Structure 1
Amino acid sequence: METPIIAVPSVNHGPLTHSYTYCSPKPHDSNMGEAHILGVDEAGRGPVLGPMVYGVCYCPLSKYKEVSTLGFVGSINLIANWSITIRQAEHWRNLGTIDSKTLKETDREAHFTLIQSRNDIIGWSVRVLSPQEISWNMLNKSKYNLNAQAHDATINLIREVLSMGINLREVYVDTVGPPESYQKKLSTLFPSIDITVSKQADSKYPIVSAASICAKITRDHTMKHWAFVEKVNTSRIFGSGYPSDPNTMAWLKSNIDYVFGYPRIIRFSWATCGTILEKEAALVKWPSDDNSNSQAINSLLQENDYKHKSKLFENMKSVNDF
């Protein structure tokens, strides 16, 4: 099948300096008061570069079986009635419910096109966490670790859907950390929703697979169209972003600046980045790193007992009695 040219509305084509949320329009044929099902998954949690993207996908519970046929559990007769070709329908039929990360790019884009084409009953949203904010949060004095950032992204996406008037009855989440404690946390925040948190949820629940596709497509196309703030002329062969990927390591080694390190596409809080910077970049030594200087620095910040007086007041004394 030919590689489709697709539009991904969730991608910000300018420099990604701040995190943002994209929400698709509400499904136009969906009754907002009707019970809905929602799935949650992420893309790009582990890579040393680029954003982490959380995605949700939702539809009416009454339409879930129909939505599940969007290449997840395959129904050639139903799919063939939609505005796609029989050849495409045959291609999607046997894919099954699988992790979107294991799909070829063309297959993922085909699934995404189908999700987009069913905007009568399907809605979706993504939260794009910029590498700068991920790093800043993790390196800040009050650390905000990756699990906490992931949890908050999920919580905010669910709240965003609820704020649109969607009646969420069931939510399925691919876990971050122990599923039991995470499920308890979400159930406490959303007591009226039946929440299931599971390992490998994207390979168990079609609605989570759909969310996974929206997240992965958004991240892939963000990386493909990355706008460097630094205006550098560099290779875009980033690889997967994992240290085990030779393309990623080659990019990191060939694009390091001796003084400034890396462009802002990099997550500076990752150990992979820190190790390379220590070996290949200029050594940075802060005054606070030297204990002998700490006292001197503190003394500069302390208020001196001596108060400078104007010469007009040099010979004046305090008077108690008038």
Structure 2
Amino acid sequence: MNSLEQLQDYIKTKNNSRNFINISDVPEVCKTEPCMLGVDEAGRGPVLGPMVYGIAYCPVNKNSILESLGCADSKALTEEKRDEILLKMFTNDDAVNNVGWAAEIISPSYISNSMYKRAKHSLNEVSMDSAIKLIKRVAESGVNLTEVYVDTVGPPEKYQARLSQIFPDYKITVAKKADSIYPIVSAASIVAKVTRDHCLKVWHFQEGLEMSYKEFGSGYPGDPLTKKFIRDQIDKVFGYPSLVRFSWSTAEVMLQGKAATCTFEDVDDDGQTKKANTKSISSFFTMPNENGTKKRKRHKFFEERYLSMKNAFE
């Protein structure tokens, strides 16, 4: 990957209702030299769009390369400066030969489903799972990891203890504002933020909406364009397009009284409500095959919205 246009083209090939990972080639030097790795996220708070976890890694003795690229907390940089730095990570010889990176794009649908399911999976847990997965992915690719630096979610001591238990051979540092302290975390922050920005720029509405990212804004609840989108794009049956995190209170409150409320009750012949039985809802989406047994056939509704009982990852 050697341009931001290629990054956008790659994102366009993906189903944005599913999670996916974009990962660089591993620099050869990172397979032999002791390496440090940074972890940070972008898009934790927005009601629209994905959350992206980014990592960056390089040899411990190459920290000066990150500083020369201008790596700093992505939130303290302009969008143009972030794009410029990531482009250098793609094309600058010193960066390409010494710095690797990866990003996991976590879809709004996955976030909402995790928070709504019976055994709730909190946003902190989704975040930690992504960080752990990316660290493992890099280690399995042959990178000689020795140090890991993470911008915390939740209490840093608890997070650090968990990572240290999973990765006992690494020096683990979890800290608040790590992206403004450690250049390797700053690099990860830029990977995450720029990837999320470009995901929004090329967002394809599976529902058929023709709308530019300039019309729905940053996705943060305080953005006037985002507020307008949340207010105007309510469907009385389906609620919102998949760009929206249904589990966010901003969306939940807006839907109240404006979208249909559904309740599912099992009623006796005499009209009395019974306790729900234990019949699986999936049994309602099956059809008998030639020998009389039931064979599951997915309804068009689920296919068009990329809804599945399977894991959300490709």
| TM-score (normalised: structure 2) | 0.80
Distance 2:103 2:4 in 1: 21
1:77-136 superposed Cα distances (whole Å, 9 cap, x missing partner): xxxxxxxxxxxxxxxxxxxx3x20232111110111111122111100111111111111
Distance 2:266 2:177 in 1: 45
Name the aligned partner's letter for residue 41 of structure 1: D
Aligned CA distance change for structure 1 residues 280 and 190 (closer, same or farther; 3 Å): same
- The aligned residue for residue 21 of structure 2 is 21
- The aligned residue for residue 70 of structure 1 is 69
- The aligned residue for residue 240 of structure 2 is 262
- The aligned residue for residue 308 of structure 1 is none
For the 8 Å contact 2:265–2:274, the answer to whether it is kept is: no
2:208 equivalent among 214, 231, 241: 231
Based on CA coordinates, which of the two structures has the bigger radius of gyration?
Answer: 1
Aligned CA distance change for structure 1 residues 206 and 10 (closer, same or farther; 3 Å): farther
- The aligned residue for residue 274 of structure 2 is 295
- The aligned residue for residue 155 of structure 1 is 132
Shift of 1:296: 6.3
SS at match of 1:7: helix
Distance 2:278 2:148 in 1: 56
SS at match of 1:152: helix
Distance 2:160 2:279 in 1: 51
For the 8 Å contact 2:266–2:275, the answer to whether it is kept is: no
Name the aligned partner's letter for residue 279 of structure 1: G
- The aligned residue for residue 38 of structure 1 is 37
Shift of 1:31: 4.7
Q: Which runs of no fewer than 5 residues in structure 1 stay unpaired?
A: 73-96, 302-322
Distance 1:39 1:229 in 2: 34
Distance 2:119 2:74 in 1: 34
SS at match of 1:280: coil
Distance 2:266 2:21 in 1: 38
Shift of 1:138: 0.8
Whether 1:101 aligns to 2:75 is yes
For the 8 Å contact 2:30–2:58, the answer to whether it is kept is: no
Percent of aligned positions with the same letter in both sequences? Answer: 44
Whether 1:181 aligns to 2:155 is no
Q: How does 1:184-199 map to 2 (within 5 A)?
A: 184-199=161-176
- The aligned residue for residue 84 of structure 2 is 110
For the 8 Å contact 1:11–1:222, the answer to whether it is kept is: no
1:4-52 superposed Cα distances (whole Å, 9 cap, x missing partner): 9643279521431211112100114x15121001100000011111111
- The aligned residue for residue 310 of structure 1 is none
For the 8 Å contact 2:66–2:187, the answer to whether it is kept is: no
| TM-score (normalised: structure 1) | 0.78
Distance 2:247 2:136 in 1: 28
Shift of 1:163: 0.1
Q: Which runs of no fewer than 5 residues in structure 2 stay unpaired?
A: 281-314
1:43-76 superposed Cα distances (whole Å, 9 cap, x missing partner): 001111111100000001121223322114xxxx
Distance 1:298 1:178 in 2: 41
SS at match of 1:42: strand
Aligned CA distance change for structure 1 residues 56 and 288 (closer, same or farther; 3 Å): farther
Name the aligned partner's letter for residue 238 of structure 1: F
Whether 1:204 aligns to 2:178 is no
1:197-247 superposed Cα distances (whole Å, 9 cap, x missing partner): 000111111111100010111110001000111112235322222222211
